[in-house]
């Protein structure tokens, strides 16, 4: 950058000010410092061609995709799994089997096939006088079990999932079963030590199909 007349500035008047070009053959301009945690962003509508703006990345949830079942044999999530940590949300899942179990199986080849070995651990508690379950499934992560398909029966809940280079972990939070017309809270663990390097997964049931409901996948942008 060349100042043809240095006495004409620009002068820096405050901490964090930047000297920026405003066009070919024109006097440089000053860009005042932004607020804490803002980042410098290109913006052609600005005189200086830049502005300070909130960061678009870091610490937030990114919607990857949402799928709705319609008598589906499985729901496959095979694209956009570029994160390590995920949030999986199940909304009003209804199954054809009675009773039935919802599983999650991972893939390491983008969904061409799904692994049916190497999963560890599940524990759960169904309230309202229902029994306590302590299950181990080597074939998949167990998300919910003993689901009834009687009128009003549906499953909703959420899971934190980590698909890392060492293993896979899926940990569930509280479910609410609309269980045969009544409301039953279901609290459970999930699974750890599952297959490593997962880059896709599917939601399946033990028998029949997923009649209806939605599964939404988010990535944690860290």
Q: Is the pLDDT of residue 124 over 70?
A: no
Q: Is the pLDDT of residue 64 over 50?
A: yes
**CATH number for the domain including 129?**
2.60.120
Alpha-helix residue ranges (DSSP H) falling in the chain: none
- pTM higher than 0.75: no
Is residue 5 assigned to a domain? no
**Average pLDDT of the segment spanning 157-168:** 87
**Average pLDDT of the segment spanning 103-120:** 91
Residue 45 sits in the same domain as residue 71: no
* Between 41 and 208, the higher pLDDT residue: 208
pLDDT at 113: 96
State the DSSP code for 48. Answer: T
Residue 44 sits in the same domain as residue 111: no
Give the integer Cα–Cα distance in Å for 164 and 83: 9
**Average pLDDT of the segment spanning 203-214:** 92
Residue 135 sits in the same domain as residue 198: yes
Residue 100 sits in the same domain as residue 75: yes
Number of domains the chain contains: 2
Query: Alpha carbon 175 to chain centroid distance?
Result: 18
Is residue 126 assigned to a domain? yes
Q: State the DSSP H helix or E strand holding residue 83, giving kind and residue range, or none if neither.
A: none
- The band of 37, judged by pLDDT with boundaries at 50, 70 and 90, is low
Residue 64 sits in the same domain as residue 47: no
Residue 138 sits in the same domain as residue 50: no
**Average pLDDT of the segment spanning 175-179:** 54
Is residue 1 assigned to a domain? no
Q: Is the pLDDT of residue 42 over 90?
A: no
What is the rounded average pLDDT for all residues in the chain?
Answer: 77
Range of 137-141, 144-148, 183-187 with top mean pLDDT: 137-141
Residue 86 sits in the same domain as residue 114: yes
Is residue 7 assigned to a domain? no
The SS3 of residue 24 is coil
Residue 180 sits in the same domain as residue 81: yes
Residue 22 sits in the same domain as residue 65: no
DSSP sequence for 112-158: SS---S----EEEEE-TTPPEEEE--SSSEEEEEEE--STT--EEEE
Residue 95 sits in the same domain as residue 204: yes
Which residue range(s) make up the domain with 26? 13-54
* Between 135 and 158, the higher pLDDT residue: 158
Is residue 168 assigned to a domain? yes
Give the integer Cα–Cα distance in Å for 204 and 69: 11
Contact 200, 76 (CB under 8 A): yes
Residue 89 sits in the same domain as residue 25: no
Residue 76 sits in the same domain as residue 171: yes
Q: Would you tell me how many other CB atoms lie within 10 Å of the CB of residue 129?
A: 6
The CA-based angle 48-45-11, given to 5 degrees, is 15
Q: What are phi and psi of 86, to 5 degrees?
A: -140, 155
Is residue 18 assigned to a domain? yes
Is residue 214 assigned to a domain? yes
- The band of 68, judged by pLDDT with boundaries at 50, 70 and 90, is very high
What percent of the chain shows pLDDT beyond 70? 68
Q: How far is CA 53 from CA 24, 31, 35, 160, in A?
A: 25, 13, 8, 30
Give the integer Cα–Cα distance in Å for 17 and 28: 12
**Average pLDDT of the segment spanning 149-177:** 78
Is residue 137 assigned to a domain? yes
């Amino acid at each position: 950058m060349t100042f043809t007349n240095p006495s004409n500035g620009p002068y820096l008047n405050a901490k964090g000010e930047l000297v920026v070009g405003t066009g070919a053959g024109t006097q440089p301009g000053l860009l005042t410092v932004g607020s804490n945690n803002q980042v410098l962003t290109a913006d052609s509508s600005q005189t200086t061609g830049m502005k300070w703006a909130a960061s678009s990345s870091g610490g937030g949830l990114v919607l990857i995709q949402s799928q709705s079942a319609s008598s589906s044999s499985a729901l496959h999530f095979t694209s956009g799994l570029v994160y390590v940590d995920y949030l999986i949300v199940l909304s009003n899942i209804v199954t054809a089997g009675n009773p039935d179990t919802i599983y999650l199986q991972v893939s390491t080849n983008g969904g061409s096939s799904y692994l049916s070995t190497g999963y560890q651990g599940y524990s759960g508690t169904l309230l309202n006088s229902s029994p306590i379950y302590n299950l181990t499934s080597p074939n998949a992560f167990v998300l919910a079990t003993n689901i009834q398909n009687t009128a009003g029966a549906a499953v909703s809940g959420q899971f934190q999932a980590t698909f890392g280079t060492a293993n896979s972990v899926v940990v569930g939070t509280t479910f609410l079963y609309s269980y045969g017309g009544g409301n039953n809270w279901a609290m459970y663990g999930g699974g750890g030590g599952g297959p490593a390097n997962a880059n896709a997964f599917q939601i399946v049931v033990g028998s029949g199909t997923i009649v209806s409901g939605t599964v939404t996948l988010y990535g944690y942008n860290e």
